């Protein structure tokens, strides 16, 4: 089981265009369904209902409060500022 979460930011032409917050998951977990959460987030769920990741559609427009609200929605602890560093550097 991947116990640590991490944030990955994707770039196109030197600018961030998407980001993904990987949540703890088990080997072989795949997204079985998605749920739109506000204007800038999409939550991915495994087939057993566990949240396994959060897609950040507009990295420049999302706030840490929005991300933490989504994390609370899926029973995850809030992000520390250090976990948001890749997003803020973008």
Domain assignments of the chain as residue spans, ordered by start: 6-76
Each of the 90 residues of the chain gets a pLDDT tens digit; together they read 556 889 999 888 888 888 999 999 999 999 999 999 999 999 999 999 999 999 999 888 888 999 999 999 999 999 988 887 777 765
Amino acid 53: pLDDT: 97
Q: Which two tokens stand for residue 50?
A: 């566990």
pTM for this model (two decimals): 0.88
Q: What integer pLDDT is reported at residue 61 of this predicted model?
A: 85
Element (H, E) at 86: helix 85-89
Q: How many CA atoms lie within 13 A of 9 on its CB side?
A: 17
> With b meaning 16 or more CB within 10 Å and e meaning fewer, what string describes 38-67?
eebbbbbbbeeebbbbbbbeebeebeeebb
């Amino acid at each position: 089981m991947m116990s640590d979460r991490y944030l990955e930011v994707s770039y196109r032409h030197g600018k961030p265009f998407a980001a993904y917050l990987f949540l703890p998951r088990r080997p072989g977990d795949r997204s079985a369904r998605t749920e739109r959460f506000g204007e800038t987030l999409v939550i991915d769920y495994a087939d057993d209902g566990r949240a396994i990741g959060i897609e950040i559609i507009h990295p420049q427009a999302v706030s840490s409060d929005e991300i933490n609200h989504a994390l609370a929605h899926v029973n995850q602890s809030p992000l520390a500022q250090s976990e948001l560093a890749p997003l803020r550097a973008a």
